[in-house]
Chains A and B, each alone.
Chain A
């Protein structure tokens, strides 16, 4: 079945540095990918929708200059947390639908645990 690969699975960085997270669709093309953030024991919160070849759409309250999204190809989207601070520490997850209009099949990456010291 369709697989979404997300890397790295865990990253620890110093405050002020930038961290890039990759999300790849391995056996299907994804013109759209979604990025979520999840705090412990909380639901997934949609941060932004990544669109191949165009600008990402950010949810209200998410700083686009803080969370840079690039969707350069039909199989790769990246999320860069710029100038990370301890409050950015969280679990970040990407997902990709195989059919955009109905979101019929939605596959998630394995997540990235970011810890900012």
Chain B
């Protein structure tokens, strides 16, 4: 069964600190993996998208890694800001034309 598991479910960190969110998947065959940021009451906004051959991709203070062999991905946030407080969703795409598989997300709270 195609699944996407994210951990931790929630996380609280102090402003300025770094954090890493995890995503494990069982989707096969694999096409790409995306990380989205979703603010409360808003639609998700794309952070990164990685295909099978990509190991890392950065978007400002956000850096995503992908290990297609172990089917694991991480999202590292550097020097966190209050505005980083949101839900971070990992989404995996199978072969072309198949539905996206959404993780349940990690809720990040950055406090001052």
Q: A6-B43, A93-B43, A102-B31 are in contact. Are A43 and B93 (CB under 8 A)?
A: no
Residues of A close to B42: CB separation below 8 A: 110-111
Whether a CB of chain A sits under 8 angstroms from the CB of B100 is: yes
Chain A interface, number of residues (Cβ within 8 angstroms): 23
* A35-47 near B? 1/0 per residue, CB < 8 Å: 0000001111110
Whether a CB of chain B sits under 8 angstroms from the CB of A58 is: no
Pairwise interchain contact A43-B43, C-beta atoms closer than 8 A:
no
Output the residue of B32, B41, B89, B107 with the most chain A CB within 10 A.
B41
The stretch among B21-29, B44-52, B55-63, B67-75 that forms the contact with chain A is B44-52
Task: Give min CB distance, B103 to chain A, whole Å.
Answer: 6
In the assembled complex, the Cα of A95 lies from the Cα of B32 at a distance in Å of 17
Whether a CB of chain B sits under 8 angstroms from the CB of A91 is: yes
Pairwise interchain contact A103-B89, C-beta atoms closer than 8 A:
no
Looking at the complex, which one of A43, A101, A103 makes contact with B102 (CB distance below 8 Å)?
A43
Task: Give min CB distance, B86 to chain A, whole Å.
Answer: 13
Looking at the complex, which one of B41, B89, B97 makes contact with A43 (CB distance below 8 Å)?
B89
B interface with A by C-beta (< 8 Å): 31-32, 34, 36, 41-46, 49, 89, 93, 96-97, 99-100, 102-105, 107
